[in-house]
Structure 1
Amino acid sequence: MCTLHYLCSYTQSDLGRRIITQPSGVTKIDYIKSALKKAGYTVNILSLSEGDFEHPFFIYKSLTIKIDKAETLKFISTFCRSNVLLKVLSRLWMYCQLWHYLIFKVKQDDCVLIYHSLAYVFPIKVFRFFSNRKIYFEVEELFNAVYSNGELKIEKEKKYLRNAAGYLLINDLISKLSGFSQKGVVCYGIYSKADMPKTSLGDGKIHLLYAGVIGHEDALMAVDMCRFLSHKYYMHILGYGSKDGILDLECRIEEVNRQMGFKIVSYDGCLSGNEYATFLAKCDIGICTRFLDDSMSNYTFPSKVLAYMSNGLLPVSSPLTCIKKSKVSEYVVFSEEVTPESFAKAVKSINTEYYKYDNSILTKLDQDFIFELKHLFN
Structure 2
Amino acid sequence: MIQTILYVSLLFTDEISEIYGISDYSLAGNNKKKSIIRSIAQKDTEVHVVSPVFKTTESNLYCASQSYFDEDIGAHIHIPPIVDLHPVFNYISTTIISTIYIIHLHMRINFDSVIFYNFQLITALPSFILSKFMNTNLVVQFEDAVYYDTESGYLLRISSMLLRKLLNRSLDGAICVNTNLEELIYTDNTVVVRGFPSINTDIMDNYNGCTDTITVMFAGRLDELRGIDLFLSSIKCIDEDNIQFWISGYGPRTDEIKEYIDRLNDDRVSFFGTLPEDEYRKKLVTADIFVNFQKQDEKISYYTFPSKLLDYMACEGVILSTNMSDLEKEMNDLVILEDEEYIVDRLSEMVQKYSRSDNPYDQQIQRAKNWVMFDCTLERQGNKVQTMLADT
- Code of the aligned partner of 2:14: S
Mapped contact 2:218–2:248 kept (Cα < 8 A): yes
* 1:196 corresponds to 2:197: no
Question: What residue is the counterpart of 1:92 in the other structure?
Answer: 92
Question: What residue is the counterpart of 1:348 in the other structure?
Answer: 351
- Code of the aligned partner of 2:382: I
Q: Distance in 1 between matches of 2:161 and 2:15?
A: 40
Mapped contact 2:5–2:111 kept (Cα < 8 A): no
Unaligned runs of 5+ in 2: none
Q: Percent identity?
A: 17
Q: Distance in 2 between matches of 1:57 and 1:152?
A: 31
Question: What residue is the counterpart of 1:314 in the other structure?
Answer: 318
Q: Distance in 2 between matches of 1:252 and 1:39?
A: 51
CA offsets, 1:162-181, max 9 Å, x none? 23110110101211x21422
SS in 2 for 1:300: coil
Mapped contact 1:222–1:340 kept (Cα < 8 A): no
Mapped contact 1:334–1:346 kept (Cα < 8 A): no
Question: What residue is the counterpart of 1:281 in the other structure?
Answer: 285
Shift of 1:212: 0.9
Among 214, 217, 224, the residue aligned to 1:216: 224
Question: What residue is the counterpart of 1:171 in the other structure?
Answer: 178
CA offsets, 1:338-378, max 9 Å, x none? 46624523643653423343212123212542321221113
Q: Distance in 2 between matches of 1:343 and 1:251?
A: 27
- Code of the aligned partner of 2:386: K
Question: What residue is the counterpart of 1:119 in the other structure?
Answer: 121
Q: Calculate the aligned-residue CA RMSD, in Å.
A: 3.0
Mapped contact 2:67–2:76 kept (Cα < 8 A): yes
CA offsets, 1:190-227, max 9 Å, x none? 14642312636655211111111123352222222111
CA offsets, 1:259-292, max 9 Å, x none? xxx4221211211321221221221122111025
Among 336, 340, 348, the residue aligned to 1:337: 340
* 1:132 corresponds to 2:135: yes
Unaligned runs of 5+ in 1: none
Question: What residue is the counterpart of 1:206 in the other structure?
Answer: 214
Alignment size in residue pairs: 365
CA offsets, 1:58-79, max 9 Å, x none? 6433211123595211123336
* 1:5 corresponds to 2:3: no
Among 186, 190, 208, the residue aligned to 1:184: 190
Q: Distance in 2 between matches of 1:146 and 1:338?
A: 21
SS in 1 for 2:41: helix
Question: What residue is the counterpart of 2:245 in the other structure?
Answer: 235
Question: What residue is the counterpart of 1:375 in the other structure?
Answer: 387
Shift of 1:42: 1.0
Q: Distance in 2 between matches of 1:94 and 1:370?
A: 30
Shift of 1:10: 0.8
Which has the larger displacement, 207-216 or 12-21?
12-21
SS in 2 for 1:105: helix
SS in 2 for 1:167: strand
CA offsets, 1:114-137, max 9 Å, x none? 011423344455555545321100
Q: Distance in 1 between matches of 2:339 and 2:88?
A: 46
